[in-house]
Amino acid sequence: MTQPSPHRLPTTVTPSHYDLELAPDLDAATFTGNEVVDVTVHEATDVVVLHALDLDIAEAWFEQGGRRLTATATLDHEAETATLTLDGTLDPGAATFHARFHGVLNDLLVGFYRSTFTAEDGSVRTIACTQFESTHARRAFPCWDEPAHKASFAISLDVPADLLAVSNAAEVAREPLADGRVRVRFAPTMVMSTYLVAFVVGPLEATEPVDVGGVPLRVIVPEGKLDLTAFALEVGAFSLRFLADWYAIAYPGDKLDLVAVPDFSFGAMENLGCVTFRETLLLVDEAHATQAELQNIADVVAHEIAHMWFGDLVTMGWWNGIWLNEAFATFMEMLTTDAFRPEWQRWTAFGLARSAAFDTDSLSTTRPIEYEVVTAADAEGMFDVLTYEKGASVVRMLQQYLGEDRFQAGIRLYLARHAHGNTETTDLWDAIEEATGEPVRQIMDSWIFRPGHPVVSVTAADGVVALRQDRFSFAPDPAAGVERPVDEPRSVPVVLRLGRPDGAEVHRVLLDGPEATLPVDAAPAWIVGNHEGNGFYRVTLGDEELAAVGGRALAELSPLERYGLVEDEWAQVLAGGSSVGRVLGLLRNLAAETDLSVWQRIIGVLGALDRVVAPDQRDDLATWIRALLGPALRTLGPTPAPGEAERTTALRAALTEALARLGHDREQLDLAAAHFTELGAHPHAVDADLADAVVRVVAASATDDTWEELRRRGAAARTPQDRLRHQGALADTDQVHLVERFCALVLTDEVRTQDGLFLLRRALGNRHAVGEVWRFVTDNWDQLGTRFPSASLPRLLEGIRSVTQRELASSVAAFLADHPVPQGATVVRQHQERMWVSVALAERVPPELARALA
């Protein structure tokens, strides 16, 4: 067989089962390993290539038909492979591969790595854990580290007797070793890809297992944190039951552990049966957490459990298909969380995440959801907002267009047909098409393999509703070096709702050309161009249509539809196709709004205006903001009412923060200062959502003493959420010297490696100190690249998107031209283009804003 690509393994020899023994030494930060791999030889060969990186292979050989064929291993660090040259020839058929090897428990948060935490007695304790996606199993053991090379795994770990060891499958044996350690053996797994293998060893504690339909579920935590596990257990049990029922397939593992890891580069990882999380997304004090913090945990737990079927049981054949794994798991997390806590209105809240996807997808440098992946660096670049949020939005659009039951039937057919196998994206569309009879592949190919999204213009006249689609994009700045994209029409499943005197009519139109018309008996009183906000397209309305739906008919709209009005109107400002005055008029009409998500989008628009307003107009903007937000907050009252909905409590906090920070409301600033003092003595003096807002309000104008108090509270925090709340707020102060002090902290052990670049990104968003923060980034670029996971650098650079000064933007662009980031190069180009959109907005809008405020 031939090698299809220099970045893909030959398929001459393929694995089917690994017996893997590993012995980590946590004190020395090393490990040793032995493996025996059942393989199939597809054609005679005396050379075998597999993956290995940062491993010393002490001995390797094959056994076949009573023969032992000794292998000489040649490692290629750049290709991340080991070439095994044999002293004989393997014949077609079955064989076994044997290897003894050793490696280092690294500090890179990938492969087999170290994580540390401070115990309650002040001692520093060490955990050894894994993160193998996308291509890091090769750092822990020689393997065929590509998703198509599925195999089963029987894992054994030699560990000190006082440590807990977990892996993908249930523990089946434990035997003492002569040196005092124990060998913990785990049951064989189902066949799965190497990136899903996991093992964690350390001073850990486990909850008592909860039986979920015959599957034992536990939460595993660093010692001393069992009291923070109840919510995760509740969410985990609900998700496991809900998803097994929704998929109509039993959970494919023999147990499920949810493992909190102190240092973790991603949010979580869907290792079969051994899902790993960063602590803030698993451990929580439910009684004293914000609604958003609880929702985040529910989302992530549901997302990872959804992967047990969609990703683990059925896996993409190559990394170009990772979008489908992640997009579908994101869709399922929304579905699951919405069922878990309907009062959270999860699909409405998803509007915020969808806005982030729209924002990137409105750039010339956006990409198709699925594109060719050649190298490991290409695979790392797939984990972005287009894969997760745009992908999930497109899946949601398809579900709503087809109908929920028919869509579910197609998913069930797909999973049952391809269980334990590998697939391409088209396999999913074909299954849904078979189940529904709809042209699913035709519709979805235009969304998956082409970048961007359309804006649908909607007008009504002369007995028809006229639709037109165009490629939507922000107005490019010449300095960005890009042109406005144009595109061929795609298949847009438009769903309209037309207002009538006796109710509303819903119409479905597959807009597969530039234009279409919908005959109507009489002109509608109002038009919603994206019914329930389910379509991944923007809508632009004529002045009369906007006046109707954004004025007289607002009460007829759902929260997500009102959210969409604000989102689309502001996007048109960024595109150069609408006015700030038109946007402010819509916001005034929404003054009586009661939904949290709609207000969050309104506040987002006001925050964007606050960044670009001329200094001599800032007080006028603040006055306008107080006039808009003040009555809404007064309507809610100062404190939660008994039995108040969680989203209402969160809305009060959001309005309080916006009035203080954007409206410069003296009353709210004074109340925040008083609450901050009160919280120092009584940490639960106010509700968690308000406490969260208070920290940010106080931090924004922090003095040296207040800043140090925030730092102290972060260090003393009992929960991971409280630690990040205070630590992140240190980046928000308007005192430049304190922001510079914060930047220096990022390079110390006071800030966890997993958090450092995210916190520095937040500092880049501080308009008072962005220049100083950028200088810190450039001065310490090499250290940032070695201290933190390389895949996180694009996330740091997301902070440049809000830069509004042309001179600074030019400096940023010049530096990044000289210092390319191979992991996520496309994402970095998108950040730069979005930065130039912000610069252009800051130069174009202030005069217009001044006129609108007057």
Residues tagged active-site: 304
Residues in the chain: 854
Does the N-terminal peptide bond of residue 457 adopt cis geometry, omega within 30 degrees of 0?
Answer: no
Dig out the tokens for 608 from the structure: 């964007």
Say which residues have a Cβ less than 8 Å from residue 164's Cβ, sequence separation at least 6.
Answer: 201, 202, 203, 204, 205, 206, 220
Closest CA to 542 of 471, 454, 462, 459: 459
Calpha distance 461→198 (Å, rounded): 61
Closest CA to 140 of 34, 276, 242: 34
40 alpha carbon, distance to own chain's centre: 38
Dig out the tokens for 722 from the structure: 């409280």
Dig out the tokens for 721 from the structure: 């959420």
Calpha distance 499→74 (Å, rounded): 71
**Which amino acid, 250?**
A
Say which residues have a Cβ less than 8 Å from residue 311's Cβ, sequence separation at least 6.
Answer: 270, 325, 328, 329
Does the N-terminal peptide bond of residue 578 adopt cis geometry, omega within 30 degrees of 0?
Answer: no
Calpha distance 503→264 (Å, rounded): 52
* Helix ranges (DSSP H) in 308-403: 322-340, 346-361, 376-380, 385, 391-402
* 3-state SS, one letter per residue, for 167-183: ECCCEEEEEECCCCEEE
The Cα-based distances of 421 to 40, 256, 313 in angstroms read: 17, 21, 7
Host H or E run for residue 217 = strand 215-222
Dig out the tokens for 3 from the structure: 């090698």
- For 461, phi and psi rounded to 5 degrees? -170, 145
Residue labelled with tokens 């944190």: 225
Cβ 574 vs Cβ 845: under 8 Å: no
Calpha distance 37→62 (Å, rounded): 9
What are the E-state strand segments in 106-214?
111-118, 124-131, 152-160, 164-167, 171-176, 181-186, 199-202, 204-206, 210-212
How many alpha carbons fall within 13 Å on the CB side of residue 305?
37
**Which amino acid, 359?**
D
Q: Is 135 helix (H, G, I), strand (E, B) or coil?
A: coil
Calpha distance 132→137 (Å, rounded): 5
Cβ 445 vs Cβ 427: under 8 Å: no
Residue labelled with tokens 């606050």: 610
The Cα-based distances of 330 to 317, 323, 373, 386, 392 in angstroms read: 20, 10, 21, 12, 6
